[in-house]
Every structure is written in structure tokens, then in C-alpha cells.
Homo-oligomer: A and B are copies of this chain.
Amino acid sequence: MKDSSDVQAIVAEIRDAVRKSVAPPYASETIPLALHEPCLQGNENAYVKECIDTGWVSSVGKFVDRFEQELADYTGMKRAVAVSNGTAALHIALLLAGVEAGDEVLVPALTFVATANAVSYLGASPHFVDSEDVSLGMDAETLDRYLSSTVMLRDGHAFNKSTGRRISVLLPMHTFGHPVDLDALTAVAEKYHLTLVEDAAESIGSFYKGRHTGNFGRIAALSFNGNKTITTGGGGALLTNDEDLGRHAKHLTTQAKVPHAWEFVHDAIGYNYRMPNINAALGCAQLEELDGFLRAQRALADRYERAFSPIQGIRFVKEPPYTRSNYWLQAICLEGADLEMRDAVISGLHAANIFVRPAWRLLYKLPMFENAPRMDCAVAERIEASLINLPSSVRLGERVETRDADEP
């Protein structure tokens, strides 16, 4: 822990770099900068009004169909199924990937709690994996080394030698929109007979080697929560390139009802995970704006990067090579920080009207997961202690068009 004058100096440097980077209307120190606010300035009102005026607000309707088709088109995938939120999408993705009660699922230690909760819903246990510094997500190299000593292969499945349980799925998450190294993780999944499922909750608009995230595993989960790049109020989607799996996903998320003109027949234990039409209407309007949002987020990242580059001891988190990130949440790392210093800097920035946040507490530190299996997570520990997310609302990046025009 540095002393308090050091902390004050760091806070001042970050404050100045942030105010210098945001769009001019937000440069004043008196304006509070939220972490991530939705931008609802397109056809949101018109589409939602159409739902209300026509009475189509609920779980079927043209905006649900359209949103699903447009998501599939945008991501270049065969099928998208809109659901009630990202957690629901993860739950069904894991169910369809074959996770069974008693299994273990490899999830990052550094992720939002929903990733591990979805594993628990199936009676399986998360098994936590360390991060690497570039993408902040799973480190394929150390994971491979860890699995080579931890896992026994038998009958085409991987078993944890300590617990005896099957490890069925590898579930990387694209942290703050930055794609993990999918080629390297795909190789690990193949080597250990794991099904790859992508937690793409944060990565709509993020591409790995030119293909949208979600295309690399068996099935993927998106989120459209209010703080995400685009929002449906609450919502999520499943993405897959397997049409049978897509049909099955639609069936299970709509209470496994068998189509019939009037009979209520259901052929499996299903889930009420449908996205209402009124929420899909928001989603359709937001998708129309997505390209502009991504331009704004990337322009803000550019300016943050330039503003922070002269500052000693602070690293701006850039998209990994071979990727194009949505920069959903902008982030910096304070070199050599500990949790106490991180919190002191966050407090100082809040006092300066800049509402930053830390990464999530590592999941194995939460009481319900403290006994879950895990590898050594030294890198994730370091990221947890040093990372601060900066204000990332679309409007903060929006001066991109004018600036580009002004510049020589």
C-alpha cells in the first residue's frame, strides 16, 4: 500500500486522463460520469409503442422473431434464440452442451457470478481457471499444464483425478468484451475431450480473427442487461451453428411445449426463459445502433489509451492481438496495486464524480464456491487487485465523428 499522498496523486492523474478523454460535454469535473449507461435514442420508443398499440407485448411477436434473425445475421451464426437474460442463456447452453449433475465445468475465476451460478443450477460444480494478462480471460497455456497433471482421460471423457468427477465443459468468458485466445483454448478443449461453450455475455460486437465471438464453441450465451453494449432491459440469447441444437434451445426455453392448435402438451421439463416481445422491440432498435455504439466505444478506447500512455505505473487494457473488441468496459491496471490501494483509488475517483468500479471478487472467494476445485490463480489475483473499470457509456465516446472530420 502506498501512502495517502501517493494515492491522491494517482487519483488526480486518472481523473485528468478520464476528463481529457470523454466527449466535450462531459469534460467538466462537476458532471458525474457513470460506469455504463444505456443509449436509447433510436427507434426504441417507436417499436415499443407499436407493441403496446397492437397488444403484442408478451412472449411471442414479430420483434422476437426479427431480433433472433438479426442476431444470427449479425454474428454470422445459424441460429439465435432470445431469452430472458444472460444467466438463463448460460444455464441452457450448459444443459445443451451435456453438463450433468456431479460434473465439473471449467470457468474463469475472474468473471461475473452468473457464469458459476449457471453451472450450479445443473447440480455441477465450477472448477476455477486462472487468467492471462492480455485478454484478462482464461490462460490456455497454464490451463493445459494444469490439466495435464489434474485430469485422467477415460472412455473419451476427462476426469478430475482428485475428485473423481467428470469435467465436461470448458466455459471461457470474453472479459469486458476482449476475446480470449479461442484457437489456443479450442486446442485445449480437444486435447481433453471438453465441449467448448462461450460465455459471450459481454462480447456482442467483438471478433476473434474476423469471426464474431460465439462462433467457436458448441453454443454461446449473450447478455442484453441494462449495462451491456446493447440492452433489452433484461435479456440474453443463445447462439449456435447447429440447427438441431438451436431448435432444441428454442423448445426448452419455451416450456418444451409441443406445437398444437389448442392442446397443452409438453414433452420435457422446460423453462420459462422467453424474451417478451416488448423487450425484443428494444433489442431491434438497439441493434440498429450497434455499429455506431462500437465506433464510439473504440474511439473512447483510443483516447483513453493515448491519455494513459504517458502515465507511469498505469496500463490501459487494450484489445488482444487478432481481435476486434467492443470495449464494453474500458479498464486500466495499476501496477503493483493491492486491494487496499485499489479501493482507496476507487473511493478517490468516486469523490471526484467519476464512478469507476473494480473487477468482480474472484469467485472462489465467495462462500458458496470456496470449496470448489481450482488451479492456482496468481494472475487473476493480480488483476483483481489492480484493475479498475473506467466510465464507458456510449455517449462518452461520441465525439468520434466530429474529431475525425476536424483532424488533418
Residues of chain A touching chain B, judged by Cβ–Cβ distance below 8 Å, are: 37-40, 44-45, 48-49, 51-53, 55, 57-59, 84-88, 112-114, 117, 120-121, 123, 225-227, 231-234, 255-257, 261-272, 274-279, 282, 346, 350, 356-361, 366-368
Contact = CB atoms under 8 A, between A and B. Distances in A.
A272 B368 contact: no
Contact of A270 (B59, B117, B282): B117
Contact of A266 (B87, B88, B366): B366
A58 B226 contact: yes
A40 B57 contact: yes
A120 B278 contact: no
A87 B272 CA distance: 6
A261 B40 contact: no
A204 to B, nearest CB: 16
A267 B117 contact: no
A265 B58 contact: no
Contact of A113 (B57, B123, B270, B359): B270
Given A45-B52, A233-B278, A276-B279, 5 more contacts: A40-B55, A58-B225, A234-B272, A234-B274, A266-B366
B58 A255 contact: no
Contact of A367 (B257, B267, B360): B267
Contacts of A368: 266-269
Given A86-B272, A278-B278, A350-B261, A113 B58 contact: no
Contacts of A269: 117, 120-121, 368
Contacts of A55: 37-40
B40 A255 contact: no
A85 B84 contact: yes
A84 B264 contact: no
A360 B262 CA distance: 9
Contacts of A59: 225-226, 233-234
A126 to B, nearest CB: 11
A276 B58 contact: no
B234 A84 contact: yes
A40 B58 contact: no
Nearest to A228: B58
Contacts of A276: 226, 232-234, 279
A127 B193 CA distance: 39
A226 B275 CA distance: 12
A263 B278 CA distance: 32
Contacts of A265: 361, 366
B38 A272 contact: no
Contact of A49 (B39, B45, B234, B262): B45
Contacts of A274: 85, 234
Contact of A278 (B267, B272, B282): B282
B358 A58 contact: no
Nearest to A233: B276
A287 B350 CA distance: 38
